[in-house]
Amino acid sequence: MELKHTDQKASAWDLLANYYSHPAILLTTIAAATAVLYSGTLMFQFVWDDKAQIVDNPIIRSMGKLHKVFISDLWYHTGRFQLYYRPLFVVWSMLNYALVGLHPWGWHLGAVLMHVAAVTAVFWLVRKLGLEYWTAALATVIFALHPIHIECVAWISSVADSMATTLAALSFVAFLSARHPGSKHALPWRVASLAFCACALLTKEIALGFCLLVGAYELLFPATKTSGYAQRIWRAVLAAFPYAAVTIAYLLLRKFALNAVTGKFDPNHTFGDMLLTLPYVLVFYLRQLLLPIRLTGLYFTPYVTAEDVGRFVVPMFVLLAVGGLLYFWARRKNDLLVVFAALWMIIGLAPALYLRSFVDGDFVRDRYIYLGSVGFCILVAKAIRLLPRAKRWSAAAVQGTAVIVLSLGYVSLSLPEQGYWDSDLLIYSRGYELYPQNPYTEVGLAREYSRLKAYDRAIPLVEDAFRRRPDYLYGAYALADVYIAAGRYQQGRAALQFAQSLMPEYAKSDTGAVAVAAMWGKLGDYDQALGLCAQVLARDADLYSAAYNCGNIHLTAGDYRAAEPLLQHAVQLSPELAAPRHFLGRALFLEGNNTAAQAYLQQAVTMDPTVYDYHYWLGLSLEKSGEKNAAREEYRRTLQLNGESADAKLRLTALEPK
């Protein structure tokens, strides 16, 4: 009886194995499972850097600006100081904008599909690396479901990582195909490999170490027999040389476009501090790969200094232990692919390990390990395939059960973690919960509370961040912004003046100048505000934030005729957004053109019925046109959303039947 049960179990595994032995069925199933896992992200908003890279990026709105993509910083219109040169990612953004405009679901769908493309490319890669079919399948499943990839799928602006990884994987596949003995298409494969490598570099900087991957593989797995180690190294150098040449050409193009190759160094920390910090950073990534919990886009990992050597010694010991285990495994099984997978992890992450290009504490991000995680997935897959039989269970059953348990574990960890990327409030709340000492997180959360008019929460947070880090560049501007939004104008003016003296270059960038102009406008200093607006609009009239905010400044100043064309242009630039339509309607209403105003006010309410102010102004317009019943309904809706609206109460009382 027991033997029969064992036979039935074995038959079930055999049946499943036969079904999925077809690569097309296997990959279709993995792709479908991946898409379902991340389907909830289609309802997420634009968050974090999406606002600058998508909503407020003038360059993606017109294919006529394609030439500018290759000679511009990704953040050329913002106040950022890191240098991001990612022209192909911008091209992807231009195509996406042409297809779906500013509808977040379309962009999120693109992010999910790009991760699925990366999953497919990884399967092809690991098969080309020589992994047998089921080990390759397992590595692909791990890559598809691992929660550390949530950032790259749930956050649109991180698509560059999955896109670059897809291109890098295809480049390595083509490299392996070109060196295959007896290949009749070696030259086309080589050309394709170099082209994919160039495209990966032009997508994101994570591909900078690709030539080292080629050299490492050639060193470990020489295409032909060599007479000695020196000759082996020489052939590895020759194999890597074309890719190194492509990389140098990319760096020269980057230098031409940006006038620099790397960002500014942190003047408060030395190269020695960076070396002391590297072991801690590497172990942090390793921990997140092994146990992907407490994930966030806002890890805070400050420099390790000579006064804190404990944070160097323990991680260094862990790295030596892990290195020893991998060496023992490779020697024991005579498996150099273990070594190459470990090298892939390190080299794939290497561009993000030059810590001096980052702000202190911003050294670890899940997206940076996306390419390097391919090596981790190979190692885990190979480890699971070493699991032996246990009692009445065959080795295949033990390994299959391990795969199911691991997959279910990844899914159960991934689903709740994805939700933290739904909105800026959730992103900053999660970051503050895990790393309250991070000033960027504290300032970001304060601004979100301020946006929601929760000033009692916003002000203590931003004041605490400013008190602890008065030198933090954006803290003073955030302090001014929150004070002004809360109506504490005297404190806001003082904070804004201090911020401009601390960081005057912020107001010289396009979006920085617009943000500062908006604050001066709220303070009633219209000359200074409109002066900044004029400078920005002269440089780029298609910057959405400039048209929208500067139009609102004119509106607040009572110059409705000047506000109207700017807000009209903001509507044209972002037709999917309700706010510019609402304020255009207000400008027209105040100018006396109620008929045109009502159409825009109604559109804003239809597009976003959750904003009480939209209903109030539509009510005013309806009341003016004699539609009293409809106006009363809008005032009631206003009070449902904001019971404290004295104006709505007054208007509703005035319209009640006597």
Residue-wise pLDDT for 464-496, tens only, equals: 999 988 878 788 999 999 999 999 999 999 999
Residue 137 identity: A
Dihedral sign (CA 513, 516, 518, 523): negative
> Which residues fall within 8 angstroms of residue 388, CB to CB, at 6 or more apart?
395, 398
Residue 63 near residue 86 (C-beta atoms within 8 A): no
Tell the residue number behind the tokens 């990389």, with chain if given.
Answer: 247
pLDDT of res. 6? 45
pLDDT of res. 207? 96
End-to-end C-alpha distance for the chain, whole angstroms: 88
Dihedral sign (CA 359, 362, 368, 373): positive
DSSP symbol at 361 = B
Q: Per-residue pLDDT averaged across 530-559, rounded? A: 92
Tell the residue number behind the tokens 């290195």, with chain if given.
Answer: 323
Average pLDDT across the chain, whole number: 91
Residue 447, pLDDT > 90, answer yes
Residue 93 near residue 72 (C-beta atoms within 8 A): no
Residue 600 near residue 581 (C-beta atoms within 8 A): yes
Alpha helices, DSSP H, located in 182-335: 186-203, 210-220, 229-258, 271-290, 310-333
Length of the chain (residues): 658
Residue 9, pLDDT > 60, answer no
Residue-wise pLDDT for 160-178, tens only, equals: 999 999 999 999 999 999 9
Q: Which residue has the higher pLDDT, 391 or 108?
A: 108
pLDDT of res. 208? 96
Residue-wise pLDDT for 455-468, tens only, equals: 999 999 999 999 98
pLDDT of res. 261? 63
Here the tokens at position 258 are 């940006």
Residue-wise pLDDT for 624-653, tens only, equals: 999 999 999 999 999 999 888 899 899 888
Residue 536, pLDDT > 50, answer yes
> Which residues fall within 8 angstroms of residue 230, CB to CB, at 6 or more apart?
none
CA 32 – CA 41 distance, rounded (Å): 15
* Share above pLDDT 90 across residues of the chain, in percent, rounded to a whole number: 74
Residue-wise pLDDT for 243-297, tens only, equals: 999 999 999 999 888 766 666 667 778 888 999 999 999 999 999 999 999 999 9
**Model's pTM, two decimal places?**
0.91
Residue 360 identity: D
Residue 616, class by beta-carbon neighbours within 10 Å (0-12 exposed, 13-18 middle, 19+ buried)?
Answer: buried
Residue 59 near residue 53 (C-beta atoms within 8 A): no
Q: Per-residue pLDDT averaged across 349-362, rounded? A: 91
Here the tokens at position 121 are 């490319």
pLDDT band, residue 2 (cuts 50/70/90)? very low
Counting other chains too, the contacts that 393-396 makes at CB distance below 8 Å and 24 or more residues apart are 393/9, 394/10, 394/13, 396/10, 396/13, 396/17
pLDDT of res. 391? 80
Residue 594 near residue 618 (C-beta atoms within 8 A): no
pLDDT of res. 474? 82
pLDDT of res. 279? 97
pLDDT of res. 265? 64
Here the tokens at position 445 are 């959360």
pLDDT of res. 5? 41
pLDDT of res. 36? 97
> Which residues fall within 8 angstroms of residue 266, CB to CB, at 6 or more apart?
356, 358, 359, 360
Domain boundaries of the chain, sorted by first residue: 2-421
CA 244 – CA 238 distance, rounded (Å): 10
pLDDT of res. 262? 66
pLDDT band, residue 4 (cuts 50/70/90)? very low
Tell the residue number behind the tokens 């046109």, with chain if given.
Answer: 625
pLDDT band, residue 657 (cuts 50/70/90)? confident
Tell the residue number behind the tokens 């030059």, with chain if given.
Answer: 354
- Residue 43: closest CA among 297, 422, 414, 611: 422
